[in-house]
Structure 1
Amino acid sequence: MILKHIILGFIFGISMSFISWIVGMIINSILMKTAYYKKLSNLNFIKSKSLNKNIGIKYFKWIVKNTFFKFFNQKIKLENRNTDLTVIRNEMTISEISHLIGFIFVTIFAIYKSIDVGILFGLIMMIPNVLMNLYPLLLQQENKRRIDKMMKRKTKNCS
């Protein structure tokens, strides 16, 4: 019974995480039209570089850059030094907020399933959710901080 909950919870978590990407994009496109979106675009959950390192964001970044995930969002790419950083930062914000919405969406389902099926099922559901929504969100935030530094340097050099 426990093994069944682990396997089914993991499979359900993966399925819900994929669905949450679509839900995140839809809700994000609605939120973009609100005044509240500006506040959302400057979220920063983990400011510490060492904490990002300790939770493995560096390894996650390597996985994204060197596997099929690199084909998912082609708009977030630095082609050369003349690339418009503002456009890339906006695309990162869209991705970040979509993943945040997706993470919350799956978390709500995981809480419901913890009550309905069992706590183990809900906890196992959160593993794919963390890997498919929370880590991409944190990676986008780290990348946005790097882009902000680059933009600041660029404006300093132009002055």
Structure 2
Amino acid sequence: MTLKYLISGLILGISTSFISWIIGMIVNSILAKTKFYKKISNLNFISNKAFNKYIGLNYFKWIVKNTFFKFFNQKIKVENKKTDLTEIRNEMTLSEISHLIGFIFVTFFAIYTSVTKSYLVGLAIMVVNILMNLYPSLLQQENKRRINKLIKRNIKTGTNNAFN
């Protein structure tokens, strides 16, 4: 019975997480037109590199870079020296906030499922939710910090390209 709940929770978690990506994009496009969006576009949950490493964000980054996930958001890619870092940062912000919205959506769903079905199903949904929504958001925050350093350096030199 426990294995049945775990498997159904994992399947439900994967499907809800994919659905949450769409919901996140829709809600994010609505939020982007508000003043509130500017406030949430500079979120920084974990600024400590050691803690990022401790929770396995480096492994997650490797998975994203070396599997089919690298094909998901092609706008977040430095292709040549003329790449506009501000544009990439904006795309990272869109992705980050969409994933956070998705994370919140699936979290409510997991809580509801824990109460109505089984806590084990809800727990399995949350594990998938963390991997498919929270970690991508944390990775975008880390990448934005790196991009911000490059943008600040480039402001001093008078450019906004990737490799100066």
The TM-score normalised by the length of structure 2 is: 0.95
For 1:57-136, what aligned pairs fall within 5 Å after superposition? 57-136=57-136
What's 1:5 paired with? 5
What's 1:56 paired with? 56
Following superposition, the deviation at residue 81 of structure 1 comes to 2.6
Q: In structure 2, what is the Cα distance between the partners aligned to 1:133 and 1:84?
A: 26
Following superposition, the deviation at residue 127 of structure 1 comes to 1.1
Deviation string for 1:86-139 (max 9, x for gaps)? Answer: 000000000000000000000000000000011111011111101100010000
Q: In structure 2, what is the Cα distance between the partners aligned to 1:105 and 1:151?
A: 33
**Secondary structure at 2:78's aligned position in 1?**
coil
Q: In structure 1, what is the Cα distance between the partners aligned to 2:97 and 2:147?
A: 17
Q: Quick one: which amino acid aligns to residue 110 of structure 1?
A: A
Following superposition, the deviation at residue 158 of structure 1 comes to 2.8
- Identify unmatched segments of 5+ residues in structure 1: none
Deviation string for 1:12-36 (max 9, x for gaps)? Answer: 0000000000000000000001110
- Identify unmatched segments of 5+ residues in structure 2: 160-164
**Paired positions, count:** 159
Question: Which deviates more, 117-126 or 88-97?
Answer: 117-126
The TM-score normalised by the length of structure 1 is: 0.98
**Secondary structure at 1:47's aligned position in 2?**
coil
What's 1:157 paired with? 157
Following superposition, the deviation at residue 157 of structure 1 comes to 2.4
Q: Quick one: which amino acid aligns to residue 38 of structure 1?
A: K
Over the residues paired in the alignment, what is the CA RMSD in angstroms? Answer: 1.0
Moved segments of 4+, more than 4 Å: none
Q: In structure 1, what is the Cα distance between the partners aligned to 2:158 and 2:41?
A: 26
Q: Quick one: which amino acid aligns to residue 114 of structure 1?
A: S
Q: Are 1:15 and 2:15 an aligned pair?
A: yes
Q: In structure 2, what is the Cα distance between the partners aligned to 1:71 and 1:82?
A: 21
Following superposition, the deviation at residue 156 of structure 1 comes to 1.7
